[in-house]
C-alpha cells in the first residue's frame, strides 16, 4: 500500500522519482505527488489519479532539483483528493513528508496539535506526523532528532521520507511495519518502498528494519534506532533484470505473468529436485528439517491467494506426511490468542513478504516459541527476514495486482516441502521419485494449457454481462474454486463465490437458474463421479456449466455447455494445472469489460496496512 521514492545526488530528481513511482504504482494508484527542494524552498506538486497525470504536470515545468521525494497513494484516511495526496507540508512550508502505513493514535495527536495552533488541510493521519515533527523542530531540535522524537509518540505503522529546506543536504527515512529500502549509488542515494523502483540505478540496497531512522546524504547514510543508538547496516546486492519488471510486449502484466508460468514454475524447482533419492533439496530449511518432521502440528497462515495456496498445502501435507495441518487467515489468527505450542511448525505464505496481517501473525507466533517458516517471493522482504527459516518461491517479480504466477509457484514450493518431510517420514523412494517425475512434467503441461488461450477467450465473450458466478470443486480442487472466484471478482467486479461442490445442495443451489454460470473443476480423479452428479444437479436447474476436465474425458461434453480439456497429473499437483484456465477466463472477461486488470479499483498489490 502506497509507494515511496526518494532521490539525493547530482541529477535532476524529478524524472528519477517519477520513473520509480511508475514502478511502484501497483502499491496504490489513487493519487500521486512529489516534494522537491528547489532554490532553497520545498515545492510540492500533487495530482489525483495515476502517476502519468502527475508526470504530464511536471513535464510542463522546468525543474532542476537534486533532492526530492515522491509518493503514490492507496487511500486509508480521507478520500483520494489533492488535499489528501502526499507529500504533506508543515504550516510554514519548510518541511514535507510522505508516509506509507497508518498512524493509529492520530486523532489524539491531532487534538493536541490543534490546541497548539497547527492548521490542518487534509483528512489524513499523515498530516499529524509532519506537524508533530515541526513541533520538535520549533523547540530547537535538528531534523533527525525531531523525526525521531515524533516517531516515539506515534502508534501504528510507517515508512516515511522527509525533506526540509532547513537541512537541504539530506532525506530522513524511517520504518516501522511498512517496508523501506535505501539504494546506494555512486555519489547519489535513493529511497524506495521496494527494490523494483531502484534497479535501473543501482543493485546495492540496504533493507531498513523496524524502528530504524536513517539520514541519507548524497554520498553516505547514517542509521540509528529510535533510541538514538548508531546501527551498522549491511549492503545487499539485488539481482532483478529490467525485463522482469516490464510488460515484454504483452498488453498487461497479468497476461505476461500467466504466460510466464512454465518458466516461473521451472525456476521454483530449479536445483531442488534430486531424482535418484526421490527427495527435494531446500537449503533454506535444511537445518530445521528434523524439527519440522517431528512437529505435532503444522499451522499455515496467510491472506488472499496465498491463503488459498495454504489450503492446498494442507491437503498435500496431511496426505503425504500424516502431520495434522490447520490453515488460518492471518488477520483472524493474530487477534484470537491462538494456541501455539513449542513443537508446532508455522508456515507463513506471502508473495510480497510484506502483508501487514501475515507479518503481525508471524510476530505473534514467534513469541510463543514455535518454529517459524516463511514462504515468500520477494527476496529480502520482512517476512523472509524475520522467519527462522524458509523457502523462496523464485517466481520473479509479480506486478499485476491479481496474483497468478506466485500462486502456482507457492503450490510447487509447498509440494517440495511436503516431499522433503514425507521422505523423512514414511514415503518410499519409488513414491518420491514418482512425485519428482510428475513435478518435472508440470511446466510442459502448463504450456499446453496456455495454448488454449484463444479458446478460453472465446468462452469469455459469452460471460461479459454475467452478474454472478459460482465455482465448485472437491478435495484438492476446492481451494482452486476459491481462487478462481477471487480472481474473477477482483479484476472483473463480477460477484463470484467458490464452494466445495458437495456444499452446493446446502444453500448455493438456490441461486442456480439460467443466468448463473457455474465453473466446475472436474478432472478425472477419485471424486469424478460425484462431481458429475453435481453437474447434473445444476443442469437440471438450467444453470450454465463451464467444466475444466481431463483431456481424455469425452462424457463431459454432453453435460457441460463449455468444456476446457487439460492434461492430467497426480492429485497433489492438480491445482497447479486447474487454476490456469481460471486465470485466463477471469483475465479475458475483465479485458472484454474494458477494465484495468493490472490495477483494479480499490486494490493494491502489497497490503501493508490492516
Ligand atoms: O503478498 P501476499 O501474498 O501476502 O498477499 C496476500 C493477498 O493480499 C493477495 O494474495 C491478494 O489476495 C491478491 N490480490 C490476490 O490476487
Domain ranges within the chain, ordered by starting residue: 3-240, 249-448, 452-598
Average pLDDT (439-453) is 97
Residue 337 binned pLDDT confidence (cut-offs 50, 70, 90): confident
CATH level 3 topology of 3-240: 3.60.20
CB 373 within 8 A of CB 388: yes
Q: Which CATH number fits domain 452-598: 3.40.120.10, 3.40.50.620, 3.40.50.10490, 3.30.420.40?
A: 3.40.50.10490
534 CB burial (10 A radius; 0-12, 13-18, 19+): buried
How far apart (Å, rounded) are the C-alpha atoms in residues 337 and 340?
9
Of ligand 1's listed atoms, the one at least distance from the Cα of 402 is 16
Question: What class is the 249-448 domain?
Answer: alpha beta
Backbone angles phi, psi at 48, to 5 degrees: -80, 140
49 alpha carbon – ligand 1 mean position (Å):
23
540 alpha carbon – ligand 1 mean position (Å):
36
CB 478 within 8 A of CB 467: no
Average pLDDT (202-222) is 95
409 alpha carbon – ligand 1 mean position (Å):
14
How far apart (Å, rounded) are the C-alpha atoms in residues 103 and 155?
6
Mutate to test the pocket of ligand 1, among 305, 352, 488, 586 (most ligand atoms within 8 A of CB): 305
Q: Do domains 249-448 and 452-598 have the same CATH topology?
A: yes
Task: Pick the residue whose CA is nearest to atom 9 on ligand 1.
Answer: 304
72 alpha carbon – ligand 1 mean position (Å):
19
Q: Output the average pLDDT for the chain.
A: 93
Average pLDDT (538-566) is 92
560 CB burial (10 A radius; 0-12, 13-18, 19+): buried
Mutate to test the pocket of ligand 1, among 304, 491, 492 (most ligand atoms within 8 A of CB): 304
User: Distance between alpha carbon 86 and the CA centroid of its chain, in Å?
Assistant: 23
How far apart (Å, rounded) are the C-alpha atoms in residues 523 and 568?
7
Kindly state if the Cβ of 608 falls inside 6 Å of ligand 1: no
pTM higher than the cut 0.95: no
- Asked if pLDDT for residue 62 goes beyond 80, the answer is no
- Asked if pLDDT for residue 330 goes beyond 70, the answer is yes
C-alpha cell at 93: 512550508
CB 323 within 8 A of CB 298: yes
Task: Pick the residue whose CA is nearest to atom 8 on ligand 1.
Answer: 304
In the Cβ-directed half-sphere of 81, how many Cα atoms lie within 13 Å?
A: 9
pLDDT (0 to 100) of residue 609: 66
Amino acid at each position: 500500500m502506497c509507494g515511496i521514492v526518494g532521490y539525493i545526488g547530482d541529477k535532476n530528481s524529478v524524472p528519477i522519482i517519477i520513473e520509480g513511482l511508475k514502478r511502484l504504482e501497483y502499491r496504490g494508484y489513487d493519487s500521486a505527488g512529489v516534494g522537491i527542494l528547489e532554490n532553497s524552498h520545498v515545492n510540492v506538486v500533487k495530482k489525483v489519479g495515476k502517476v502519468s497525470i502527475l508526470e504530464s504536470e511536471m513535464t510542463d515545468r522546468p525543474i532542476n532539483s537534486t533532492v526530492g521525494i515522491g509518493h503514490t497513494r492507496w487511500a486509508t484516511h480521507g478520500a483520494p483528493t489533492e488535499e489528501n495526496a502526499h507529500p504533506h507540508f508543515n504550516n510554514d512550508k519548510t518541511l514535507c513528508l510522505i508516509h506509507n502505513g497508518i498512524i493509529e493514535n492520530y486523532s489524539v495527536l491531532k487534538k493536541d496539535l490543534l490546541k497548539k495552533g497547527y492548521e490542518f488541510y487534509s483528512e489524513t493521519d499523515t498530516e499529524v506526523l509532519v506537524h508533530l515533527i515541526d513541533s520538535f523542530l520549533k523547540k530547537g531540535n535538528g531534523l533527525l532528532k525531531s523525526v525521531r522524537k515524533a516517531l516515539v509518540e506515534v502508534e501504528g505503522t510507517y515508512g516515511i521520507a522527509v525533506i526540509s529546506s532547513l537541512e537541504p543536504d539530506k532525506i530522513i527515512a524511517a520504518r516501522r511495519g511498512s517496508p523501506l529500502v535505501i539504494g546506494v549509488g555512486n555519489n547519489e542515494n535513493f529511497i524506495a518502498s521496494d527494490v523494483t523502483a531502484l534497479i535501473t540505478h543501482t543493485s546495492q540496497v540496504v533493507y531498513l528494519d523496524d524502528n530504524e531512522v536513517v539520514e541519507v546524504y548524497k554520498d553516505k547514510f547514517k542509521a540509528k534506532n529510535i533510541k538514538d543508538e548508531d546501527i551498522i547496516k549491511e549492503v545487499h546486492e539485488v539481482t532483478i533484470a529490467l525485463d522482469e519488471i516490464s510488460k515484454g510486449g504483452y498488453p498487461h502484466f497479468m497476461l505476461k505473468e500467466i504466460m510466464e508460468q512454465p518458466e516461473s514454475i521451472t525456476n521454483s524447482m530449479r536445483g531442488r529436485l534430486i531424482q535418484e533419492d526421490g527427495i527435494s533439496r531446500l537449503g533454506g530449511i535444511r537445518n530445521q528439517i528434523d524439527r519440522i518432521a517431528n512437529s505435532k502440528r503444522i499451522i499455515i497462515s496467510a491472506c488472499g491467494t496465498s491463503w488459498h495456496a495454504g489450503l492446498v498445502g494442507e491437503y498435500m501435507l496431511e496426505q503425504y506426511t500424516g502431520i495434522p495441518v490447520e490453515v488460518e487467515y492471518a488477520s483472524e489468527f493474530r487477534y484470537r490468542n491462538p494456541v501455539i505450542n513449542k513443537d508446532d511448525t508455522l508456515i507463513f505464505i506471502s508473495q510480497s513478504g510484506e502483508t501487514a496481517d501475515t507479518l503481525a501473525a508471524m510476530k505473534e507466533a514467534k513469541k510463543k516459541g514455535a518454529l517459524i517458516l516463511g514462504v515468500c517471493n520477494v527476496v529480502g522482504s520482512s517476512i523472509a527476514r524475520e522467519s527462522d527459516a524458509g523457502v523462496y518461491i523464485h517466481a520473479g517479480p509479480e506486478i499485476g495486482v491479481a496474483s497468478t504466477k506466485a500462486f502456482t509457484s507457492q503450490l510447487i514450493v509447498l509440494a517440495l516441502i511436503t516431499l522433503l518431510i514425507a521422505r523423512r517420514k514414511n514415503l518410499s523412494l519409488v513414491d518420491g521419485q514418482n512425485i519428482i517425475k510428475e513435478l518435472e512434467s508440470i511446466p510442459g503441461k502448463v504450456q499446453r494449457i496456455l495454448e488454449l488461450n484463444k479458446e478460453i477467450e472465446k468462452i469469455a465473450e459469452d460471460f461479459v454481462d454475467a452478474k454472478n458466478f459460482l465455482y465448485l470443486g472437491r478435495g484438492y480442487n476446492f481451494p482452486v474454486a476459491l481462487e478462481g472466484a477471487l480472481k474473477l471478482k477482483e479484476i472483473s467486479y463480477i460477484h463470484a463465490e467458490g464452494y466445495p461442490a458437495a456444499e452446493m445442495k446446502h444453500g448455493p443451489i438456490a441461486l442456480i437458474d439460467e443466468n448463473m454460470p457455474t465453473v466446475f473443476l472436474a478432472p478425472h480423479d477419485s471424486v469424478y463421479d460425484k462431481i458429475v452428479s453435481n453437474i447434473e444437479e445444476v443442469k437440471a436447474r438450467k444453470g450454465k456449466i463451464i467444466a475444466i476436465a481431463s483431456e481424455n474425458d469425452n462424457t463431459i461434453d454432453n453435460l457441460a455447455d463449455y468444456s476446457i480439456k487439460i492434461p492430467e497429473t497426480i492429485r497433489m499437483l492438480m491445482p497447479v494445472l486447474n487454476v490456469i484456465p481460471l486465470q485466463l477466463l477471469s483475465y479475458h472477461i475483465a479485458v472484454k469489460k474494458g477494465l484495468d486488470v493490472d490495477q483494479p479499483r480499490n486494490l493494491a498489490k502489497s497490503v501493508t496496512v490492516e
